[in-house]
Chains A and B, each alone.
Chain A
Amino acid sequence: MRTNNLIVAFGIGAALLLTTVPLRGQGEGGAPNRAAAPKPWPPQKLSDGQPDVQGVWAAVNAGSTSLTNPISGGEDFDRRVSGQNIRRPSRVIDPPDGLLPYQPWAAARQKQQESDYEHPTKPEHIDTQHRCLLSGIPRLYTIVPSFRIIQIPGSIVFVWDEYHAYRVIPLDGRPHIASNVKLWMGDARGRWEGNTLVVDTTNMRGARLTYIGDFNSENAHVTERMTFVDADNMTYQATVDDPTVFTRPWTFRISQKRRPDDETWESACWEGNPDPDVWLKK
């Protein structure tokens, strides 16, 4: 039984690795790999007054396994093989117990979804990431592959390597789009407070937050604070306010680090993705 689960989990992981790991320039005619060029700090100001934080970034201790015990994929594998419990500090900083403040029915649903992920029998038990669907906000800031920040007058743009996901965040104070429109990436509006980018995201869809079945509803309102603490480090913090699922707003934090500014090459995901439903148990 355990072996079967292991094969399922590992199989999906391997299938993903084979099909979705994006390519980066390797110096064969394209631009050579470069070390992250030193960036000035305090940051230079762009023409519209934004601090210049452009470049490639990625989360430290990243992974979608769990927010409350954020072990890596490798540690998850070790845990399954050895049977030993491996713990990492929770990413959740509020509430102070580091747990997600689910309403009772939602806590039960998360447990069910964790169990379904381990013993998938229906298509909806497969995590959305394994189908190349957009993970949305805030989950995309917890995945392993990097993202690129590009700043243009009046907007800041995030483009992820994986899934070629992107979000364009206007900084001009314009209103959100009509509330009946639900977007996989939500509708984001931002502003700078010094070197902290504050982003207000609405128009969300319900989404999975981790492999262990954590989730939010489409009524979630996400407030992100991305604090650039020096030229190479950023602290990402997201507060999720979703009265449909949780008893109170909660906040998690994950560190992000600057990465080499290599060319980003094509990352097709859906096009080569083996049907994950083959892993469903009959």
Chain B
Amino acid sequence: MRLRLPSFAILVTLSFVHPTIAGAQNAAGAAIPRTADGKPDLSGIWQAMNTAAWDIQDHAAQKGVPGGPGVIEGNEIPYRPEALAQKKKNYEQRATLDPEIKCYLPGVPRITYMPYPFQIIQKPNELTILYEYVHTVRYIFENGTPHPKGPIEWWLGDSRGRWEGDTLVVDVVHFNDQTWFDRAGNFHSDALHVVERYSLTDPDHINYTVTIEDPKVFTRPWNMNMVLYRHKEKNFQLYEYECYGFDFEKIYPYPDLGAAR
């Protein structure tokens, strides 16, 4: 039996219940790191440890695809009928249609759960996130300014953050319609509105919740939830995944001048 709630009820639930849960976990776990201004300190190198990059819904393994539970609350994506048909078409032709194949910036939140680490750099009015995947950079402005006036179509959208208690809430708009949510063809339009919530549950785990809203594609908002894990290895650092660079390695730069020549 699946509960069906009107969208406003879900939003209310999110706003009230979620911080409470995070708070309870904080109390139970170790003290979380804090910056000089008392905010939770999200700085560090993090990575998702799930299979959402392949499919954000529950899915069995296929060759080259690890199976696993999805990251969607309730597992259902409330597609409009015509959008569901598009999703099925995307899935069937995913080997050629997925924008990841072209190495484009993967959009938000997909960049978060790509199978590569990322580094959060926290400053009082600005959060910078450096991702290993195609050296993606996001700036999350927390200086109280609103989104720039649109229409703007960006790959990663425009991110404005604010703290609600110990949760960083990031509002992201101004997307294009060129990115997907995963390799299974789940997609959105340029009307996408993303709200991310980052909350430390202990020093080494971030509870990451995302609300997806896109009235052109979905009948109601829906939520993802996952845990981001801190990399604890000694001297861990980001390397590079220069996705579109691989195709040029045979001509650039100077493959004939290597030490192994």
Please tell me if the beta carbons of A218 and B257 are within 8 angstroms of each other in the complex. Answer: yes
Please tell me if the beta carbons of A207 and B148 are within 8 angstroms of each other in the complex. Answer: no
Given A174-B235, A217-B257 in contact, is the A270-B103 Cβ separation under 8 Å?
yes
Contact among B103, B130, B149 for A28, CB-based, below 8 A: B149
A264 CB–B CB distance under 8 Å: yes
Cα–Cα distance between A122 and B258 once the two chains are bound (Å): 21
With both chains docked as a complex, state the minimum distance between the C-beta of A261 and any C-beta of chain B, in angstroms.
10
CB-CB < 8 A to A270: which residues of B?
A: 103-104, 134, 244
Query: B146, B147, B148: which has the most chain A beta carbons within 10 Å?
Result: B148
Please tell me if the beta carbons of A123 and B251 are within 8 angstroms of each other in the complex. Answer: yes
A171 CB–B CB distance under 8 Å: no
CB-CB < 8 A to A265: which residues of B?
A: 148, 154, 158
Please tell me if the beta carbons of B259 and A159 are within 8 angstroms of each other in the complex. Answer: no
Please tell me if the beta carbons of B148 and A28 are within 8 angstroms of each other in the complex. Answer: yes
A183 CB–B CB distance under 8 Å: yes
Given A174-B235, A263-B139 in contact, is the A184-B245 Cβ separation under 8 Å?
yes
Please tell me if the beta carbons of A271 and B141 are within 8 angstroms of each other in the complex. Answer: no
A150 CB–B CB distance under 8 Å: yes
Please tell me if the beta carbons of B135 and A25 are within 8 angstroms of each other in the complex. Answer: no
Scan B86-118; emit 1 where CB is below 8 A from any A CB, else 0: 000000000000000001110000000000000
- Least CB separation from B254: chain A residue: A206
Count of CB-CB pairs between chains A and B under 8 Å: 117
Please tell me if the beta carbons of A218 and B105 are within 8 angstroms of each other in the complex. Answer: no
CB-CB < 8 A to B145: which residues of A?
A: 29-31
B10 CB–A CB distance under 8 Å: no
Please tell me if the beta carbons of A166 and B130 are within 8 angstroms of each other in the complex. Answer: yes
- Residues 244-282 (chain A) with a chain B CB within 8 angstroms: 244-245, 263-266, 268, 270-271
Scan A21-45; emit 1 where CB is below 8 A from any B CB, else 0: 0000110111100000000000000
- Least CB separation from B45: chain A residue: A168
- Least CB separation from A30: chain B residue: B148
CB-CB < 8 A to A183: which residues of B?
A: 239-240
CB-CB < 8 A to A28: which residues of B?
A: 148-149
A80 CB–B CB distance under 8 Å: no
B155 CB–A CB distance under 8 Å: yes
B207 CB–A CB distance under 8 Å: no
Please tell me if the beta carbons of A168 and B139 are within 8 angstroms of each other in the complex. Answer: no
Q: How many residues of B contact A (CB 8 A)?
A: 44
- Residues 178-224 (chain B) with a chain A CB within 8 angstroms: 178
B25 CB–A CB distance under 8 Å: no
With both chains docked as a complex, state the minimum distance between the C-beta of B250 and any C-beta of chain A, in angstroms.
9
Q: Is the interface of B mostly helix, strand, loop or mixed?
A: loop
Report the stretch among A9-17, A65-73, A124-132 that lies at the interface: A124-132
- Least CB separation from A165: chain B residue: B135
Please tell me if the beta carbons of B121 and A157 are within 8 angstroms of each other in the complex. Answer: yes
CB-CB < 8 A to A245: which residues of B?
A: 257
Please tell me if the beta carbons of A168 and B43 are within 8 angstroms of each other in the complex. Answer: no
B137 CB–A CB distance under 8 Å: yes
Given A134-B242, A164-B135 in contact, is the A177-B237 Cβ separation under 8 Å?
yes
- Least CB separation from A148: chain B residue: B128
Given A218-B257, A218-B258, A219-B259 in contact, is the A168-B237 Cβ separation under 8 Å?
yes
B14 CB–A CB distance under 8 Å: no
Given A159-B130, A166-B130, A170-B237 in contact, is the A217-B254 Cβ separation under 8 Å?
yes
A6 CB–B CB distance under 8 Å: no
A185 CB–B CB distance under 8 Å: yes
B167 CB–A CB distance under 8 Å: no
CB-CB < 8 A to A271: which residues of B?
A: 104-105, 155, 178
Query: A122, A133, A207: which has the most chain B beta carbons within 10 Å?
Result: A133
With both chains docked as a complex, state the minimum distance between the C-beta of B143 and any C-beta of chain A, in angstroms.
6
- Residues 133-173 (chain A) with a chain B CB within 8 angstroms: 133-134, 150, 152, 157, 159, 163-166, 168, 170
A192 CB–B CB distance under 8 Å: no
Query: B121, B146, B257: which has the most chain A beta carbons within 10 Å?
Result: B257
CB-CB < 8 A to A218: which residues of B?
A: 254, 257-259
When A and B form their complex, which 7 residue pairs have the shortest distance between CB atoms, in order from nearest? Answer: A206-B254, A217-B257, A124-B251, A30-B148, A206-B253, A164-B137, A29-B148
* A-B contact list, 29 entries, CB within 8 Å: A25-B148, A26-B148, A28-B149, A29-B147, A29-B148, A30-B158, A124-B251, A124-B252, A128-B252, A133-B242, A133-B244, A157-B121, A157-B130, A159-B128, A168-B237, A168-B238, A170-B237, A183-B239, A184-B245, A206-B254, A217-B257, A217-B258, A245-B257, A263-B141, A264-B139, A266-B155, A266-B156, A268-B154, A271-B104
Chain B positions near chain A (C-beta within 8 angstroms):
36, 43, 103-105, 119, 121, 123, 128, 130, 134-137, 139, 141, 143, 145-149, 154-156, 158, 178, 235, 237-240, 242, 244-245, 248, 251-255, 257-259
